[in-house]
Chains A and B, each alone.
Chain A
Amino acid sequence: MKTLQHKHIIKWFELASLTLRENKDYLTKLDSEIGDADHGFNMERGFNKVHNKLEEFSLNTDLGAIFKNMGMTLISSIGGASGPLYGTFFLQFGMAIVTKTELSLQDFVTAFEKGVNGVKLRGRASVGDKTMIDVLAPVADRLKESLSENNTFEKVFSDIVKSAEKSMKSTVPLIAKKGRASYLGARSVGHQDAGATSSYLILKSLKEAIEE
């Protein structure tokens, strides 16, 4: 597969909504260990709204507009830390692909990087702070590398999901320096970050969306 099409994006958002719903309790449990036990509820609330918009999205061919709408939907329904962060990600992603109806790998990589930069700017977290950035930033790097490798989307997405899973697990031994978990200091060690986990789940549904 050489281009990512409208139907893949719709499928991605659909699968992401489903998997976040299925993992609501799991994400909330992770957040209860070192946060305030709301990450699963927050993500479910936001992605339910996205799910309700899938029909509207399928009628719109402008992918940039769909991503921006998606970002605004998350921003206005999640709240918490993850609302502005995920919202910014999709909003910035959309800004990079204005009026496009399909995406080349280059388009995708550029947009993803723009999204991650937005998250960094908003949350001021760096890799190693035990947040979603620990998953998103290495994926952005991996994506950039893949450009020179002339791979298919299938191969690239399968790579980034592996990278995301590894990064997600690598948050376990870290001391949190951002977000609520940072109040725990050394007591945050030994727990997987909830936001890193939801980022992994969202990327995993991207991979699954093009397999169907």
Chain B
Amino acid sequence: MKKLINNIEDVITEQMQGMAAAHPELKINLDPKFIIRADSDSQKKVVIISGGGSGHEPMHGGYVGKGMLDAACPGEVFTSPTPDQMFECAKAAHNGHGVLFLVKNYTGDVMNFEMAAEMLNAEGIKTQNVLIDDDVAVKDSLYTAGRRGVGTTVIMEKIVGAAAEAGYSLEACAKLATKVNSYGRSMGMALTSCIVPAAGKPNFDIDENEIEIGVGIHGEPGRKRIPHTSCDEITSILTHAILDDGVYTRQIREWDHGTGNWKEIEFTSPPFKSGDKMIVLVNGLGSTPLSELYGVYRKMHEICEDKNIVITRKIIGSYITALDMQGVSITMVKTDDEILKFWDAPVKTPALRWGV
């Protein structure tokens, strides 16, 4: 393993120290670990917090700043952060308007964020959790932990962050986040595996001439392994998987502030249809050259035109990664006026900034 690392145990800490040094508009706390807006004390709005295992940079720390996240909790590489981390982070950021946790649907993240929400609500800090489960590679939710949270996370953080900035209440932010999740779908693929520093060797084996279709951002297995093929072919598989995906229904948990407990609700994502207007993310998984991502964009754009899917906004680059994996994911989020307005609103973070 060749990596730019001093000590394996210090990777996350040193990354955070680097971010704080580079971006004075952010502050870091090392015990427990979180990254927070330096101006968080002067905010008067709902606090939007996300977090998850490290290794997906720039997510989530890179999205802390005006118009997006108020704070982020990084876990160990590919391991969910802990409830006390989220608890301290939320207490530091909270300014009386409630806390919204945006949680990617992985067993570890869900349970740790649920514990944190229970602790905060018990302290009288009004907290709600919203899940992101947009990975169409996982087909059912009855016999699995459900669809994983991937690219829609970035888009949701942007949109809900802007809504909070505009003065939305906790309930309104949660409702908007839930809508974005139900409008979002993603599908990824891997050309290579990735190396977790502590493990020192590839996370999974994949032959030189094989690719994994539907891979997750930790190298989770997807729908199938196939022989390596052209960019157009691969893009076509990913794009069709998203556009042809049917109704997706699952049970999710929401905190009921009335009863002070979790409530199970059924939640459905309608399929995409001709005429839908999309925000699209063509995302590199860590070691994919931008030139290749544009190659993917080219073919995806062609398919969308054919199917009368309108791409109204797009970002192309590495926004949610899997360490040093080579591969790509495509995310589409259907838009409406509310979503577009908040997508276009100013944002000023290390990894996403416009309008400022």
Contact = CB atoms under 8 A, between A and B. Distances in A.
Interface of A: 28, 32, 36-38, 41-42, 45, 75-85, 122-123, 175, 177-180, 182-185, 187
Given A79-B80, A83-B82, A36 B115 contact: no
Given A79-B75, A83-B108, A182 B84 contact: no
A81 B107 contact: yes
Contacts of B75: 79-80
B80 A180 contact: no
Nearest to B77: A38
Interface in B20-40: 32
6 contacts: A80-B75, A84-B108, A175-B143, A179-B107, A183-B216, A183-B220
B66 interface: no
Contacts of A122: 111, 114-115
B305 to A, nearest CB: 33
Interface stretch (B126-134, B195-203, B282-290, B341-349): B195-203
B78 interface: yes
Interface string B92-120: 00000000000000111001101100000
A33 B198 CA distance: 16
B108 A79 contact: yes
A142 B218 CA distance: 37
Given A180-B106, A183-B145, A38 B83 contact: no
B161 interface: no
B78 A38 contact: yes
B79 A80 contact: yes
B interface, by DSSP: helix, strand, loop or mixed? loop
Nearest to B80: A79
Nearest to A34: B221
B349 to A, nearest CB: 24
Nearest to B199: A37
Contact of B115 (A28, A84, A179, A180): A84
A75 B85 CA distance: 10
Contacts, number: 96
B148 interface: yes
Q: Which 3 A-B pairs have the closest CB atoms?
A: A84-B111, A182-B144, A80-B108
Interface of B: 32, 53, 75-76, 78-85, 106-108, 111-112, 114-115, 138, 143-145, 148, 196, 198-199, 203-204, 216, 218-221
A83 B76 contact: no
Contacts of A83: 80, 82, 108, 111-112
A79 B82 contact: yes
A78 B221 contact: no
Contacts of A178: 107, 145
A84 B218 CA distance: 20
Contacts of B107: 81, 123, 178-180
B234 to A, nearest CB: 20
Nearest to B216: A183
A79 B84 contact: no
Question: Which of A79, A180, A184 has most B Cβ within 10 Å?
Answer: A79
B111 A123 contact: yes
A81 to B, nearest CB: 4
Contacts of A177: 143-144
A187 B221 CA distance: 10
A78 B203 contact: no
A20 to B, nearest CB: 16
B203 A32 contact: yes
A80 B78 CA distance: 9
Given A84-B111, A123-B107, A183 B79 contact: no
B321 to A, nearest CB: 15
A69 B115 CA distance: 16
B79 A79 contact: yes
B111 A81 contact: yes
A81 B113 CA distance: 11
Given A79-B53, A79-B112, A84-B108, 14 more contacts: A32-B199, A36-B78, A36-B203, A37-B196, A38-B79, A41-B76, A42-B79, A76-B85, A80-B79, A80-B80, A81-B108, A183-B138, A183-B220, A187-B221
